[in-house]
Amino acid sequence: MRVIGPPKKNRHSDRGKRNAGIRRFAERVRVRKHATADLPQSENSALYRQFTPAYELLFPLLVRKRIWSAIRQLNLRPGTRTLEVGVGTGTSLQAYPHDVHVTGIDLSEEMLAVAKRKIAEEGWNHIQVQQGNAEKLEFEDSSFDCVTSFHTVSVVSNPEAMMREIARVVRPGGKVLVINHFRSPRPWLANMIDRADPVTRHLGWRTDLECEAVVRSLPLEVDKRYKTSPLSLFTVVRATRLPDHEV
């Protein structure tokens, strides 16, 4: 007797459906970005409104451990005034000591709503978040003892402007912590990743940003630059704001 089992899945058909789904996704992003092409990237958060749920589900799994470790290594003292640029849904917030004062800014109202909910649920009275543009920070010079930013500088339309603002609002002697993907100094790896840049730009970020390009000519001294593993795509950069007389 021949037993008839369930029909075999057509792998080629499944692959075709996945590829078609990816193409439709990319086209929706392309249309959305074309419709808002006149706006600077950092002033256009519509792209992120659609992807906030997926961001909150997946992004922390990729970056949270690295971010939390880097924040804790800052050894922030009680009362430290800290600004996080691009706070998003608040992936990093749990890592800050409860005796420091944290202000987080982000352009996306949807992501900030998630962050505010976390703050309320956890009772983090030392943290506040608000809407703001990373390239035009609404704070006085030297307002903060420490400024952090995670996976944001390659998203904004003008990374140099964002870093200038960070250097402006951190006090002389203050600390800056940035984690991001930067273009590899190894040509073969840089060229390979550069091939993805046209695709990632449609999704809202760039792969060809060089670390030296965003800190060049700024009153910042890079204290440490490292990857948490040899295969990591992300670089941790710690810097100190130089005294005004050394600028």
Q: pLDDT tens across 150-166, in order?
A: 989 988 889 999 999 99
Q: Classify residue 32: in a domain, yes or no.
A: no
DSSP states of 51-94: HHHHHHHHHHHHHHHHHHHHHHTT-PPTT-EEEEET-TT-TTGG
d(CA 129, CA 185): 35
Q: Classify residue 1: in a domain, yes or no.
A: no
Sign of CA pseudo-dihedral 19, 27, 59, 239: positive
Q: Classify residue 19: in a domain, yes or no.
A: no
Q: Classify residue 82: in a domain, yes or no.
A: yes
Q: Classify residue 37: in a domain, yes or no.
A: no
Q: Which of 55-69, 120-134, 197-211 has the lowest mean pLDDT?
A: 197-211
Q: Classify residue 33: in a domain, yes or no.
A: no
Range of the domain at 115: 42-246
Q: Classify residue 226: in a domain, yes or no.
A: yes
- pLDDT tens per residue, range 123-182: 999 999 999 999 999 999 999 999 999 989 988 889 999 999 999 999 999 999 999 876
Q: Classify residue 144: in a domain, yes or no.
A: yes
pLDDT at 221: 96
> If pLDDT is split at 50, 70 and 90, which confidence band does 59 have?
low
State percent of the chain over pLDDT 70: 61
d(CA 84, CA 92): 9
Q: What's the predicted TM-score (pTM) here? A: 0.73
Tokens standing for 64?
A: 């949270």
154: domain CATH number is 3.40.50.150
Total number of domains in the chain = 1
